[in-house]
Amino acid sequence: MQTTFTPEQLTDPGIQRANEILRACVHCGFCTATCPTYQVLGDELDSPRGRIYLIKDMLENERIPDAKTVGHIDRCLSCLACMSTCPSGVHYMHLIDHARAYVENHYKRPVTDRVLRWVLARILPYPGRFRLALLAAKIGRPFARLLPDPRLRAMIAMAPKRIPPVSRNDDPQSFVPVAPRKMRVALMTGCAQKALNTDINDATIRLLTRLGCEVVIAEGAGCCGALTHHMGKEDESHATAAKNIRAWAAEMDGAGLDAIVINTSGCGTTVKDYGHMFRNEPLAADAVRVSKIAMDVSEVLSKLDFPASPAAQEMRVAYHAACSLQHGQKIKTLPKDLLKNKARKIRTLEALTPDVIAAGNIGCMMQIGSGTGVPVVHTVELLDWVTGGPIPPAMGAHGRPKSDIPILR
């Protein structure tokens, strides 16, 4: 695609990167076939190609975005399916991230949007505040229909009925390996996940230590910054990401780290992009070091030897591939392979009635769980169970006896 940025505009590193990306696009439209918003809405401007044109026009002309343009950009789910489909290697993620920051700096949203976004940015990344908000949502649920904004009503409807107690496993500390030590890893404990579901980090720590990892929860590490990053709030997202970079760099310079383990795939996509996010900042070198050793938990597990599991009961597992894992991180088969390594076979979700649904992202687990009676667990909870850990609590709550050791199929 031809671009017409002026030499002066191109002195801005963000515009330089946008220019490279825009020039790679050949308008072929292959990406539209896999874009969920285009598939549902049927509007070219809600497709990757349409958004690319809108962003190009906005940036080249330094245009103050209008509500229509912002709507098309906001509706992008950042699923990155378009990046997997694009034959020209267009890095849509960096382009939409830059466009969101531009919109945030140049567009004045309606007051309700501004208030809602301000509240979300100040609650979700902080587990303590989020926990209080979940409690308020639980108490306010009967009155939710009185709220004027449908988005608030939807959020209250999504809030879990049970709020788990705080897990002290998420506090800064080090867990010694149970088997002979193979790796020293830092676990990113996250933000919203710590308030919504403490079972995932607990299972991850048990599983990794059982397989020979020393697991460190680094002092000062917290939210990855993805939530505010996707809102275009660059200052806030960089501030939280910088804390992680400093915390993990200190561990790398201290006792050393073989990996930074992330068990929420959306966060993993962002941490792996820290090198790009901080490319023009003083923390650039440390950000690159962090991104280089950031791994989804399935990547780390694939490097470790699983013990043979005793077989007792067959189980049908449906695996949900999170978009941030398969498109954002290009991890398509590893989690399924890990489940299969403990199983005779695994079949697809749609074809069968599963006993359990496994996913690698808390957001997906919440969404899927709100629409099914089948227990939804994180992949690591199943792998922890089949290697000697407790039954995932979500499955115990569905009436499974606690002594079952499953054969996954």
Task: Report the C-alpha gap between 192 and 196 in whole angstroms.
Answer: 6
Please identify which residue in 9, 14, 30, 104 interacts with ligand SF4, judged by CB under 6 A: 30
Q: Does 88 sit near ligand SF4 (CB under 6 A)?
A: yes
Q: How would you class 98 by CB atoms within 10 Å of its CB: exposed for 0-12, middle for 13-18, buried for 19 or more?
A: buried
Compute how many residues bind ligand SF4; rule: CB under 6 A. Answer: 25
Nearer to ligand SF4, 198 or 361 (CB): 361
Q: Does 91 sit near ligand SF4 (CB under 6 A)?
A: no
Compute CA distances 95 → 16, 73, 165, 234, whole Å: 11, 11, 40, 14
Task: Report the C-alpha gap between 166 and 131 in whole angstroms.
Answer: 9
Q: Does 137 sit near ligand SF4 (CB under 6 A)?
A: no
Edge to edge, the sheet with strand 317-320 lists 317-320, 356-359, 376-378
Task: Report the C-alpha gap between 112 and 336 in whole angstroms.
Answer: 42
Nearer to ligand SF4, 55 or 188 (CB): 55
Q: Does 86 sit near ligand SF4 (CB under 6 A)?
A: yes
Per 3-state DSSP, the chain is made up of helix, strand and coil in percentages (nearest 5) of 55, 10, 35
Closest separation in Å from C-beta 327 to ligand SF4? 8
Q: Does 37 sit near ligand SF4 (CB under 6 A)?
A: yes
Instruction: Using alpha carbons, select from 129, 95, 156 the residue that is nearest to residue 223.
Output: 129
CA 394 to chain centre: 21
Please identify which residue in 29, 172, 220, 307 interacts with ligand SF4, judged by CB under 6 A: 29
Q: Does 161 sit near ligand SF4 (CB under 6 A)?
A: no
Nearer to ligand SF4, 43 or 253 (CB): 43
Q: Does 77 sit near ligand SF4 (CB under 6 A)?
A: yes
Contacts of 301 (CB under 8 A, 6+ apart): 207, 211, 338, 380, 383
What values do phi and psi take at 83, rounded to 5? -70, -35
Q: Does 35 sit near ligand SF4 (CB under 6 A)?
A: yes
Please identify which residue in 36, 160, 212, 390 interacts with ligand SF4, judged by CB under 6 A: 36
Q: Does 80 sit near ligand SF4 (CB under 6 A)?
A: yes
Closest separation in Å from C-beta 46 to ligand SF4? 8
Residues 40-59 that bind ligand SF4 (CB under 6 A): 48-49, 51
Residues forming the site for ligand SF4 (CB under 6 A)? 25-31, 35-37, 48-49, 51, 76-82, 85-86, 88, 90, 92
